[in-house]
Amino acid sequence: MLFQPSIIALLLAAGSGVFMLACAAPFAMQVILRWDMRSGSEQQLRLERRTYLFSTLLAFVMASQLAALLLFVFNADRLAVMFVGAMCAVGTLNVNEWGFPSLIAQITIFFLASMWLTINHIDTLARDYPLVRIKYALLLALLPILAGGFWLELQYFLNLKANVITSCCGSMFSAESKTIAAEASGLAPEPALWLFYISMLAAIAASLGHWRSGTRSSAFLTALFSASGFATAIAGVLSFVSLYIYEHPHHHCPFCILKPEYDYRGYWLYIPLFAATAAGLGAGVTQVFARRSSLAGVVPNVSRRLAGLALCAFLIFTGAVSYFVLSSNLVLLEH
């Protein structure tokens, strides 16, 4: 393994996250089995008090997961110097077979964590802890995922050996290779452009609709279009946005745009995109519980606010993409 501060920090964060969640697991079992809001027994009081501790603890773990994702990509990009043939994060992640699964696991954990935090948030707003059982059941479900993510990360870092010849991003995202990433980047720019703008429009329209109307079905539509919007947005970044930013018709790398050479433009894309998707998913998730009596007054407010956030973030993202495409000197499509 490479003895490197950022790697130690990442493993520390992931490891302590899993540890804290594992500590919370027995308590979660107790809540699921023994929770009884009507009882005034000492045990119930103890459980109620402990929920405060574990909610805070988990909010902390989830928040640190969000920061860890940023550090992970940042670090992968920086490590590229250490590997022959690697020029950016793609090369570093390709050094062994654990790199990309590890990144995908991190992104999945990011969205799951954000959804859990939304559920936790609406639960604390209601008077009678209506979601406490569901919350802790979800927590038990999250534990293996987090542990899996930690294991993947550990495998990835343990098997990082400097000097392995990895493929540079130019060869991975070229049209000939047969991976999903290559499929996405192999899309011709014109259909990709249409697909991108249609799905962004759908996501923006759905979140605008929900923000204004607040109906249940529009919330689910927002979640659906945010999720599909995330997928097409990533495909769009691979297939044409990166080309316009690099002003090079064959460079599809989604990581190099984060570099200072390209004015850190990637952050203008990824931060709004991730925020928008998380907020959109959150809007849908909260509406699942809208029928509970104690949440009836809480959920519409929260989900509309989340839809508003998703709307703003999708607008920023689409605006940034359009600006990068229009201001680029590259001509991909003839008019």
Partner 1 sequence: MRLWLEKQRHLIDFTLASLARRKTKNIGLLLAYMLLVFVLASLMLFTHALRSEAAYVLASSPEVIVQRMVAGRHDLVPPDYLERIGRVRGVQKMQGRLWGYYYDPVLNANYTFMARPSGEIADGGIMVGNALARERGLSTGNTISFRSYSGKLFTFEVLATLSPDSELLSADLVLLSENDFRRFFEYPAGHFTDIAMSVANPQEVRNIAAKLGKMLPDSRPILREEILRTYESLFDWREGIVLTVLAGAILAFAILAWEKASGLSAEEKREIGILKAIGWETSDIIRMKSWEGLLISITAFLGGVLAAYVHVFHFGAAVFEPVLKGWSVLYPKFKLLPTVDGLQLITLLFFTVFPYMAAVLVPIWRAAIADPDTVMRA
Contacts of 297 (CB under 8 A, 6+ apart): none
Select from 67-75, 104-112, 274-282, 316-324 the region that touches partner 1 (CB under 8 A): 67-75
Q: Which stretch binds partner 1 (CB under 8 A): 31-39, 46-54, 186-194, 236-244?
A: 46-54
Q: Which is nearer to partner 1, 162 or 333 (CB)?
A: 162
Q: Is 323 in the site for partner 1 (CB under 8 A)?
A: no
Provide the greatest CA pair distance for the chain: 74
Among 25, 32, 70, 117, binds partner 1 (CB under 8 A): 70
Residue type, 51: T
| Contact (Cβ atoms closer than 8 angstroms) between residue 118 and residue 112 | no
Q: Which is closer to partner 1, CB of 184 or CB of 311? A: 311
Of 59 and 316, CB closest to partner 1: 59
Shortest CA distance to 190 belongs to which of 317, 313, 320, 325? 325
From 32, 66, 71, 195, residue interacting with partner 1 (rule: CB under 8 A)? 71
Residues 6+ apart with CB under 8 A from 300: 214, 290
Alpha-carbon torsion, ordered 112, 116, 118, 119, to 10 deg: 140
State yes or no: residue 6 binds partner 1 (CB under 8 A). Answer: yes
Helix ranges (H only) for the chain are 5-34, 42-79, 89-93, 99-125, 132-158, 169-172, 180-186, 189-213, 216-236, 242-246, 265-288, 299-327
Question: Which is nearer to partner 1, 4 or 228 (by Cβ)?
Answer: 4
Task: Kindly state the number of chain residues that form the binding site for partner 1, as judged by CB under 8 A.
Answer: 33
Is 99 or 229 the residue whose CB approaches partner 1 more closely? 99
User: Is 159 a binder of partner 1 (CB under 8 A)?
Assistant: no
The residue from 15, 30, 66, 74 that contacts partner 1 (CB under 8 A) is: 74
Q: How many CB atoms lie within 10 A of CB 58?
A: 23
In contact, 36 and 47? CB cutoff 8 Å: no
Q: Does 12 interact with partner 1 (rule: CB under 8 A)?
A: yes
Among 96, 124, 171, 174, binds partner 1 (CB under 8 A): 124
- Would you tell me which residues interact with partner 1 (CB under 8 A)? 2-6, 8-10, 12-13, 16, 20, 49, 52-53, 56-57, 60, 64, 67-68, 70-71, 74-75, 78, 81-82, 84, 124, 162-163, 305
